[in-house]
Structure 1
Amino acid sequence: MTACLTTTRLNLRRLELAFLHSCLTANYPQAQQWLGAELPAPWLAQWQLMALRHKDMVLDPDYRPWGLRAICHGDSGQMIGHIGFHTAPNPDYLQQLGVRNGIELGYEIYPQWRRQGYAGEALDAMLSLAAQQGVATAILSISPDNLASTALARRRGFIHFTEHQDPEDGLEWVYQLPLTALG
């Protein structure tokens, strides 16, 4: 799987173990050199996400190509957000929901870059990548209060099919999209 996905306006760069380790150990010059851009403050505040994805990649080498990606603006190279799959395809927790050959993903666009279509552009690229790899269903879990993300999910054809109580994030609505709809 490609380390960098390119869209019309974005580069989605897979965040490797070394980058996450540099961020977690506050070796910001090394992390910035790897990224080729300054590390944005919202990213630096997400050390729990960095630690979780670093741990996932260490414990499951099959997860590495599916992991977190920096959403970088194609012109400036600035990191404007991140997107990634939560696991490799077909995790047990999705099977327990009745989702076979599925994968869950999440994303964030940093505040100054919102409402410009970047989330949809990055989401489309990741959905296409999953479909090309033979994944049948994509899952998004979204807070009911996140109106922008629920609207984006619906515009892309995701259908609300259940909800769950996340221990950290509270109530989340779970949406699914058959990736065969993309082709």
Structure 2
Amino acid sequence: MAILSTPRAWLLPLTRRMIQQRLDQPRFDLDCDLGSTPDGDGTGGPVSVHFPPEWPGDPLAFFPAILARLRPGQEEVQPDTSFTLVTRDPQPGGQLTAIGQLGTTGTVSVWGDLEIGYGLNPAAWNQGYATEAVGVLVTHLHTLPRVRRVVAATALHNRASERVLEKTGFTRTGQRWSADDGDLTTWAHERI
């Protein structure tokens, strides 16, 4: 189980329990296991995480299909590539808060490309969380076998998302069209 860490948040693997709870109710609390966190800060074990109604944003539409693809007994969706972004700063009462969702949108292509997507709750926008999380995710994905480039796509003129990718070392590679999202700008981050 990969748990990734930024200065202000953890990226916890997306689990069956998270998806089921969110499909059943708009807000909920879950005990999530931090295990032995990679930054060695001594934190570990279970922590209480609050999942507000804004979580996970657009990915909610994909949750029923993700749940249907899980094998019996499979708890984590994609332990190394699909994450829930959780703040380190506890709220009153000691709970952490789920503020976003990020990860890969498929598998590694024959060319070694792996596409990511991400989204944060509106209350977490413009605070640098996305830049921290995408940076850590990209570094992690480049350690996986066969990944040559991490790629992404943003809606045209989505300046906030473009800035996240620019700050994390992505370069513009062109444009494409999607039936779901229309015209998109494409991006790539080469393995160094």
State whether residues 57 and 120 of structure 2, in contact with CA within 8 Å, keep that contact through their aligned partners in structure 1: no
Structure 1 CA distance for aligned equivalents of residues 66 and 185 of structure 2: 22
Pick one of 49, 73, 81 that aligns with 2:100. 81
Amino acid at match of 2:143: Q
How far did residue 10 of structure 1 move? Answer: 0.6
Structure 2 CA distance for aligned equivalents of residues 45 and 109 of structure 1: 7
How far did residue 18 of structure 1 move? Answer: 2.9
Structure 2 residue 133 is the aligned partner of structure 1 residue 119? no
Name 2:22's counterpart in structure 1: 23
How far did residue 154 of structure 1 move? Answer: 2.0
Bigger strand fraction:
2
State whether residues 56 and 100 of structure 2, in contact with CA within 8 Å, keep that contact through their aligned partners in structure 1: no
How far did residue 57 of structure 1 move? Answer: 4.2
State whether residues 57 and 64 of structure 1, in contact with CA within 8 Å, keep that contact through their aligned partners in structure 2: no
Structure 2 CA distance for aligned equivalents of residues 126 and 15 of structure 1: 14
Structure 1 CA distance for aligned equivalents of residues 156 and 89 of structure 2: 33
What is the total number of aligned residue pairs between the two structures? Answer: 168
Change (3 A) 1:168 1:136: same
How far did residue 176 of structure 1 move? Answer: 0.8
Structure 2 SS opposite 1:41: coil
Change (3 A) 1:133 1:171: same
Name 1:51's counterpart in structure 2: 64
Structure 1 CA distance for aligned equivalents of residues 114 and 18 of structure 2: 24
Of 162-171 and 42-51, the range deviating more from structure 2: 42-51
Change (3 A) 1:166 1:34: farther
TM-score by length of 2: 0.76
Structure 1 CA distance for aligned equivalents of residues 70 and 78 of structure 2: 5
Structure 2 CA distance for aligned equivalents of residues 88 and 18 of structure 1: 23
How far did residue 33 of structure 1 move? Answer: 2.0
The percent of aligned pairs where both chains have the same amino acid is 19
Structure 2 residue 41 is the aligned partner of structure 1 residue 42? no
Change (3 A) 1:84 1:44: closer
Cα RMSD between the aligned structures? 2.6
TM-score by length of 1: 0.79
State whether residues 56 and 120 of structure 2, in contact with CA within 8 Å, keep that contact through their aligned partners in structure 1: no
Structure 1 CA distance for aligned equivalents of residues 170 and 66 of structure 2: 25
Query: How big is each residue's C-alpha offset from its partner over 1:119-165, in whole Å with a ceiling of 9 and x where there is no partner?
Result: 01000111111111132100111001210111221232212223222
Structure 2 CA distance for aligned equivalents of residues 156 and 26 of structure 1: 34
How far did residue 27 of structure 1 move? Answer: 8.9
